[in-house]
Amino acid sequence: MLTKVIDQPKIDRFAKWLEDADKIVIVAHVAPDGDAIGSSLGLWHFLDFQGKTANVIVPNAFPDFLKWMPGSKDILCYDRYKDFANRLIAEADIICCLDFNALKRVETMADVIQSAHAKKILVDHHPYPEEFCDITMSYPKVSSTSELIFRLICRMGYFDDITKEGAECIYTGMMTDTGGFTYNSNDREIYFIISELLSKGIDKDDIYRKVYNTYSESRLRLMGYVLSQMRVYPEHHAALISLTKNEQRNFDYIRGDSEGFVNIPLSIKGVVFSCFLREDTEKPMIKISLRSVGAFPCNQLAAEFFNGGGHLNASGGEFYGTMDQARATFEEALKKFAPLLIAKE
Ligand code: 5GP
Ligand code: MN
């Protein structure tokens, strides 16, 4: 049996909305990751099974390694189909905002979502949610939004309406947001849910292969290069990797190629904090990815130095300046946070 994580009145209210609604739009954050896409498609399959007119809209493209997911071909990218997406948003009865805690995380879609007359619900696990929805289901202790979608559907009494395809999407989100169940994954109920998803006929080993073992040769060579340039700060138990636009060109970089790189330095004994600086190809900025193990608060450092936020152990932000300046800012942040940078036993 699962603990009742989501508050009952919120579930009752959403279930009532669904009874009266037909047109539902599901929205996830910019640069959607496995959990953003997994939770969105998990919910979409359920609504589709129930005969609703549902659409998933994301601000921009998502990585190729998620394109095998059932239903992913019907996801609308707002930057490509803005007019159509605007119409769907304006006509929606309900908008479900998944896997983000602030409207600015949907970037160019923020205004249309804010002004849409639809009822709005947030389902998310990032701390400090902003109040921009009528129902806010925010549970930061839960390791993925996909897990919350499973819990939500079950609590409404519809476990039987989760299809194999929906289960595959939910599993993918749970797996990717925990690094294949290697962090944030000690809650035993996760494994109860996996067992329930397996009962739908999903092949979890195959899903792992499709997500993690389908990269290009150039991506592997890029990884080797990035690691060869890594800086380690033993006194701060930290490491830094980076990737400029020039380096991206040298390795035929495509979006998603550096996914997961930030986790690799954490495999060094004694390193508890890793930072990845990547020059963006679209905007004049450097995207920051931060990861930690143990108690080090990546999100505090992201907020203080990189105009960002996120989870305790996984956060991100943005930097406007050169790569050298970004490195200098990171080193300054290391000094400031030194008292908290302690090797894990
Ligand atoms: P990633 O390193 O995978 O891009 O992001 C990890 C996590 O950091 C995301 O799930 C999200 O919670 C947070 N995050 C990433 N970029 C930003 C950002 O620019 N602003 C904020 N507030 N959070 C971010
Ligand atoms: Mn997530």
Structure pTM?
0.90
Looking at the structure, tell me whether residues 137 and 36 fall in a common domain.
yes
Which ligand has its closest atom nearest to the C-alpha of 30?
A: 1
Q: Among 159, 194, 212, give the residue marking a domain's end.
A: 212
State if residue 289 touches ligand 1 by the CB under 6 angstroms criterion: yes
Contacts of 192 by beta carbon, 8 Å cutoff, 6+ apart: 1, 2
257-316: pLDDT as tens digits = 898 899 999 999 999 999 999 999 888 999 999 999 999 999 999 999 999 999 999 999
Q: What is the CATH number of the domain that holds 204?
A: 3.90.1640.10
92-123: pLDDT as tens digits = 999 999 999 999 999 999 999 999 999 999 99
Cα of 178 vs centre of ligand 1, distance in Å, is 14
154-201: pLDDT as tens digits = 999 999 999 999 999 999 999 999 999 998 999 999 999 999 999 999
Residue 1: inside a domain: no
Residue 3: inside a domain: no
Which ligand has its closest atom nearest to the C-alpha of 275?
A: 1
Looking at the structure, tell me whether residues 187 and 263 fall in a common domain.
no
- Alpha-carbon distance of 38 to 67, in angstroms, equals 11
Domain count, the chain: 2
Looking at the structure, tell me whether residues 162 and 269 fall in a common domain.
no
Spatial CA neighbour of 94 closest among 26, 190, 166, 46: 26
Looking at the structure, tell me whether residues 103 and 133 fall in a common domain.
yes
pLDDT of residue 1: 82
Residue 120: inside a domain: yes
Looking at the structure, tell me whether residues 21 and 167 fall in a common domain.
yes
pLDDT of residue 344: 73
Q: Do the beta carbons of residue 87 and residue 101 sit within 8 Å?
A: no
308-339: pLDDT as tens digits = 999 999 999 999 999 999 999 999 999 999 99
pLDDT of residue 325: 98
Looking at the structure, tell me whether residues 182 and 49 fall in a common domain.
yes
Residue 338: inside a domain: yes
| Two structure tokens written together for 342 | 């302690």
Q: What is the CATH number of the domain that holds 333?
A: 3.10.310.30
Cα of 66 vs centre of ligand 2, distance in Å, is 14
Can you give the residue range of the structural domain that contains 226?
217-342
